[in-house]
Structure 1
Amino acid sequence: MVHRVFNAWDGLNGEIGKQIDAQAPCPISGEHASIVLCDRDRYGYPLRTVISQATGLVYTDPRADDDSIDDFYRTTYRRFYKSASKPKWKHTARNAYIAGQRVEMIKTLAAKGAAVLDIGTGSGELLYVGRRNGLDMQGIEVDQAYAQFGRRSYGVKIINESLRNAVLPEQHFDIVTIFHVLEHLSDPQAALAKVSAILKPGGYVLIEVPNVDSLDAQFHQKWHPGHLFHFNCSTLSALATVCGLETLSVHTCQRRNVVGATLTKPFLPTKATWQALVADNFENTLQLLQCQAKQNWHTNWYERLGRARQKLKRNLCEWTISLSEGNRRKLVDKVTRNQAT
């Protein structure tokens, strides 16, 4: 059952394909004109998802208030969806592997001693691996149990607060990372504007979000109730521009299910406009999603079978290495050491 915080829609103005004025404006354009894409989440519960006619950004409308969303992620999210108040051992192994990859990415942009802030740091593996590589790492994690776990297990610096409420020094960080967090936030425009404010001129932002254009998931599986915004390459770049950031690169992964971007805070204000970045994006995204909505369950069955095999293989590897080590810090060390060889 979906948590009550996502039951914000009263069921009105939910006819699929209908043009409406969304309650919340598009955070890129500030306009309300939109088309209803879907009236249910992936579990079949009421959730209205719209696409902005000005930009092609897809988002949940209406949404719960900011405090309710923050409270949900502070106390409930991981227990509700992952049935755990601290990461499972296999998740520590997975997080360690991903942290190793991300630290290598960070090192291509900054020298040792660089101040790095990881927003939504979870249980802190990235902070630990980054610190071990000579970076001045700090994290923000709204979940109380996970923040405490990271501090206790790895001795890392974690601010236990939402990004919205966290007090952070302006123009302080060389790099800010925000991996698979922006889509959960109630106001991504305010979030990226705050990131821009705390970043040094010439600093970088590394960001990843799910890709709404992905062909990897069926249409009705895209609408996770906790994902309030659904970006693609165009809308992520446009939002960055609105917040005073410049997109150096934007890309999708092999199966196009994730959008990754490297942003920078220019020394002088950028002259780019969001309108140029989302030209034709509404029409293209709407057409793609409408085509996906008509596909049946066996479309791309071969690719889905391949993903299932990969997931099984990954789980077996994670459990195998997890069973070989009974200390979290030593497990992270072992995974990253094996990764480097």
Structure 2
Amino acid sequence: MYQNPRVSQNLVNEETNRKDYYKIYEKIAQDQEKFFRNRFETVLKGIPTGKVLDVGCGTGGFLKVAKDLGWDVYGVEVSSLAAHASIDKLGIGITEGTVEEANYPNEYFDLVNMSHVLEHMPNPLKTLKEIKRITKPPGYLLIEVPNEKNFKIRNFLLNLFLHSGTGEKFAPRNYHLYLFTKDTLASLIDKSGFKLLLIEEEGFGVKGREDWILKSLNPFIRTLAFFVKRLQLDVHIRLGHYLIALAKNNK
């Protein structure tokens, strides 16, 4: 879904280059590592190591885990601040700019990750087609985006049980150029030429994510939240905050 009115690309670039924009990732680095390691142990389980590209690699959390697991890691990031943080953390070259500007060789990567990036793209279909070009058959694409379905209800509950304004922290739609549901994300992936293998809603009760979410809770709500995350109630009542999709380049 096209966000209208939409924020200008210049404003998005200014936001992602603010010095305090990535401070939260410094605070939750250990939890992030658990989260991304869980991705490799579950959704990406059984995929052989090779070259992996993280599009919008931020401060390098995903790439650090991938490197530890034996992957040959590459990152591309539009934020100069985040790109330099990734270089400092990993000791590898990060390409500053968009994936289109990076101009990687044809069929170069075995896995491409996009975590909370696609919703910021001015032309998501063009971006996915570029990623298909640089993905080696039978390579994989992993996408995570905010779930637009039932957003207002979910946002209200987050602000009720967490600190006021937390809902917007978890889905700051003002900076999202596109909004996705399961159907619209699946359709976009299909149009790009990838074969969709998996698409599902995901809640807060995922290893790693659960830890830093609980830290934001009012202490009186933590006990309730413990059972919510254990039972994945947010997903079962169709309030999963995230969408995750895995696709394959069968060419």
* TM-score of the superposed pair, with normalisation by structure 1: 0.54
Richer in helix (by share): 2
- Residue 145 of structure 1 corresponds to 81
Confirm or deny that 1:95 pairs with 2:32: yes
* Partner SS for 2:176: coil
Structure 2: which 5+ runs fail to align? Answer: 158-166, 204-233, 235-239
* Partner SS for 2:155: coil
Give the structure with higher Rg (CA).
1
Contact 1:124 1:154 in 2 (8 A): yes
Contact 1:86 1:149 in 2 (8 A): no
Confirm or deny that 1:264 pairs with 2:248: yes
Contact 2:52 2:73 in 1 (8 A): yes
* Partner SS for 1:153: helix
- Residue 216 of structure 1 corresponds to 154
Moved over 4 A (4+): 71-75, 84-88, 219-223
Using the aligned pairs only, state the percent identity. 29
Confirm or deny that 1:158 pairs with 2:67: no
Contact 1:204 1:262 in 2 (8 A): yes
Label 1:63 to 1:165 Cα distance change in 2 as closer, same or farther (>3 A).
farther
- Residue 122 of structure 2 corresponds to 186
Stretch deviating more after TM superposition (103-112 or 221-230): 103-112
Alignment of 1:198-217 (within 5 A): 198-214=134-150, 215-217=153-155
Counterpart residue identity of residue 157, structure 1: G
Contact 2:107 2:136 in 1 (8 A): yes
Contact 2:36 2:61 in 1 (8 A): yes
CA distance in 1, matches of 2:40, 2:47: 10
* Partner SS for 1:59: coil
Cα deviation, residue 85, structure 1:
6.1
Aligned residues: 203
Give per-residue Cα distances to partners, 1:123-167, cap 9 Å, x unaligned: 012212211111111111111011111101221331111223221
* Partner SS for 1:76: helix
Question: RMSD between aligned alpha carbons?
Answer: 2.5
Cα deviation, residue 83, structure 1:
2.8
CA distance in 1, matches of 2:100, 2:6: 16
CA distance in 1, matches of 2:22, 2:185: 31
- Residue 231 of structure 2 corresponds to none
* Partner SS for 2:32: helix
Structure 1: which 5+ runs fail to align? Answer: 1-57, 268-341
Confirm or deny that 1:250 pairs with 2:199: yes
